[in-house]
Homo-oligomer: A and B are copies of this chain.
């Protein structure tokens, strides 16, 4: 029995994974493309390492969305495939997994899919490569191995066969008996996985995944208003079965639960008829609009000099020291970074506070009081601006202050002995990524949505070398505030999941160059990443080489482009510099796994 394993099955870098598979006496591996993209080794080094370890590289996977498309899209498929076939040549891999189209399929016609696989097969054959075509269980049109085999028969090409994956066949309950009708020589690859019979039936959903009002997707304001309208006069009671709340501090959970009802009361008061709301004492919270921007971010540490050095390289200007505290201010455009050494003995640099610019600071203050949010305290003297703030569930202090009509906010005047602000291609804070402890994420969502009226995006998972990072993004309506909340795998220590601040740039290429001239070295992105960019996007070779030279990340979608680079991590924080072209609203999710692997490298 010749054995193999996909590198995606286990943790670590690609080289770690190869060593682990060899130590466990596997005969070969499937190379999972994202593992290669994030690797610092060249394809030739990977091939040589595998050879020394006695492993064959059995499969390159996955190549997605290759068939069932119109002719224009298919031209792009062939272009992308050729780049990947060349890469496979460098790796010495002769079989590629092509899975049935999920994202781009527009033509539900076996003839078309077969014709496109045949032409892909022609191209592959020139490179000595075989296409193993697999029906994904959730393929847009082709989702059954029997249909995939029919299409392969129609393609009738020696370089086109099928891949059989036990999960995709057995999870759907498809009878595997028809496998016996496929000649073994046309089965180019076999993937094995077991799985528990799982279904998210309503009972499991109810027993494990309920949330407090305001944290999920139910329209509870309407629901509650309807009941209130009947004249019901009993209590409004929470019944939330949730695995997390059952194991965490009951005092804290109860406060959080109580806050969710206060949010609901407000929501009902805003939607129910006056008579209904007043009969039930449904009281509104004070109105407060979402913040319009980030006033400042604060990094706290016993010694902030490594951060100062970095900010100077990146073109920030020191605005001096605070009148009464061991605190300095660094600015670039409207981005303000406060470095705080007060009461920080033993602290490595970490993101300690975020300030929001709001239209009506008093209204936010009243709303936070109404929600009984725990308050943050900063000592201020009579001559200083008062700073109102709250403590978020992860311990980050969140302050709010009146947005200045123009120019600097008033508190900036408390800093002395600074330099005159130099121009820099940096405009403001683009987003602040906050890692959340796994048990604080639901509470954090209520904190930011109920307290600050931020909106919430759906969840995405980012694979890193030590597990999946789940990410949910909070945004203000205008996009002035963007806060991705990330939850890492439970095995990771907090320090291994640093927070980060991203600054918006007017010209990120210029900043990358000028900061390099000042001695800055960005986080090093691997060559494989740029080879993939060249394969995926129709960029001029010189443009790709510029990205590679400057260690820039790149993404593009229908709305625009995203260019960005990262600093190294200092303590528990790092910085990102981003340029959004046109209406691009994402965060370069394709680059994040590569970044996570690069950050793991010493």
CB-nearest residue of chain B to A166:
B223
Chain-B contact segment, one of A227-235, A534-542, A581-589: A227-235
For window 12-44 of chain A, which residues contact chain B by CB distance below 8 Å? 12, 16-17, 19-21, 23-28, 30
Instruction: Answer yes or no: A194 CB below 8 A from chain B CBs.
Output: yes
> B257 touching A24 by the CB < 8 A rule?
yes
Closest to A170 in B: B218
Residues of chain A at interface, number, CB under 8 A: 129
CB atoms of B247 and A11 under 8 A apart: yes
Given contacts A170-B223, A230-B187, A250-B17, contact A138 B193 (CB under 8 A): no
> Are the C-beta atoms of A177 and B246 separated by less than 8 Å?
no
User: Is A382 interfacial (CB-CB < 8 Å)?
Assistant: no
A174 to chain B, nearest CB (A): 11
Main secondary structure of the interface of A (DSSP, over half): mixed
Most chain B beta-carbon neighbours within 10 Å: one of A179, A234, A372: A234
CB pair A264 B192 closer than 8 Å: yes
In the complex, which residues of chain B have a beta carbon less than 8 angstroms from the beta carbon of A164? Answer: 227
Chain B residue with Cβ nearest A62: B239
A491: chain B residues at CB < 8 Å are 247-248, 439
A215 touches B236 (CB 8 A): no
Closest to A259 in B: B24
Note all chain B residues with C-beta closer than 8 A to A235: 2-4, 27-28, 56, 58, 189-190
A569: CB under 8 A from chain B?
Answer: no
Task: Tell me whether A558 is interfacial, beta carbon within 8 Å.
Answer: no
Residues of B within 8 A of A227 (CB): 164, 179, 184, 187, 190
Interface residues of A in 202-245 (CB under 8 A from B): 202-203, 205-220, 222-224, 226-227, 229-243, 245
A253 B11 Cβ-Cβ under 8 A = yes
Q: Does A198 contact B (CB under 8 A)?
A: yes
Contact, CB under 8 Å: B179 / A8 = no
Contact in complex: B468, A191 (CB < 8 Å): no
How many angstroms from the CA of A243 to the CA of B208 in the assembled complex?
18
Q: Which of B21, B179, B202, B240 contacts A6 (CB 8 A)?
A: B240
B238 touches A9 (CB 8 A): yes
Q: How far is the CB of A463 from chain B (nearest CB, A)?
A: 7
This chain: copies in complex: 2
Closest to A468 in B: B243
Report the separation of the CA atoms of residues A14 and B415 in the bound assembly, to the nearest whole angstrom.
53
Do the beta carbons of B197 and A217 come within 8 Å of each other? yes
Q: Is A59 an interface residue (CB 8 A)?
A: yes
Q: How far is the CA of A24 from the CA of B371 in the complex (A)?
A: 11
Cβ contact within 8 Å between A258 and B218: no
A184 contact set on B, CB distance < 8 A? 227, 230-233
Residue of B nearest to A188 (CB): B234
A72 on the B face (CB < 8 A): no
List the B side residues contacting A229 at CB < 8 Å. Answer: 179-180
- Which of B1, B137, B198 contacts A200, CB < 8 Å? B198
Interface residue A183 (Cβ < 8 Å from any Cβ of B): yes
Residues of B within 8 A of A171 (CB): 202, 205-206
Output the nearest chain B residue to A463 by Cβ-Cβ distance. Answer: B246
Q: Quick check: is A10 within 8 A (CB to CB) of the other chain?
A: yes
* Residue in A28, A137, A235, A265 with the greatest tally of chain B CB atoms within 10 Å: A235
Q: Which residues of B contact A2 (CB under 8 A)?
A: 234-236
| A489 interfacial contact with B, CB 8 Å | yes
A5: interface (CB < 8 Å):
yes
Cβ of A275 under 8 Å from chain B: no
Q: Does A201 contact B (CB under 8 A)?
A: yes
Does the CB pair A201–B16 fall under 8 Å?
no
Distance of A4 from chain B, by nearest CB (Å): 4
Whether the Cβ atoms of A254 and B21 lie closer than 8 Å is yes
Contact of A466 with B by CB under 8 A = yes
Interface residues of A in 253-288 (CB under 8 A from B): 253-255, 257-258, 260-261, 264-265, 280-283
**CB < 8 Å: which of B10, B189, B214, B237 contacts A190?**
B237
Q: Find chain B residues with CB under 8 A from A222 CB.
A: 176
On whether the beta carbons of B11 and A190 are closer than 8 Å, the reply is no
Which partner residue on chain B sits nearest A214 by CB separation?
B194
Q: Which residue of B lies closest to A178 (CB)?
A: B226
The interface of chain A, by Cβ under 8 A from chain B, is 1-6, 8-12, 16-17, 19-21, 23-28, 30, 56, 58-59, 137-138, 164-172, 176-177, 179-180, 182-185, 187-203, 205-220, 222-224, 226-227, 229-243, 245-251, 253-255, 257-258, 260-261, 264-265, 280-283, 372, 439, 461, 463, 466-468, 489-492
14 more CB-based (< 8 A) A-B contacts, given A23-B254, A137-B203, A243-B468 = A3-B235, A9-B257, A11-B246, A24-B255, A59-B237, A138-B203, A138-B206, A166-B224, A182-B230, A187-B234, A189-B234, A194-B260, A246-B467, A490-B490
15 contacts between A and B (CB under 8 A): A4-B235, A6-B237, A11-B249, A24-B258, A25-B258, A166-B220, A171-B206, A183-B230, A184-B230, A184-B232, A190-B235, A190-B237, A194-B220, A199-B200, A246-B463
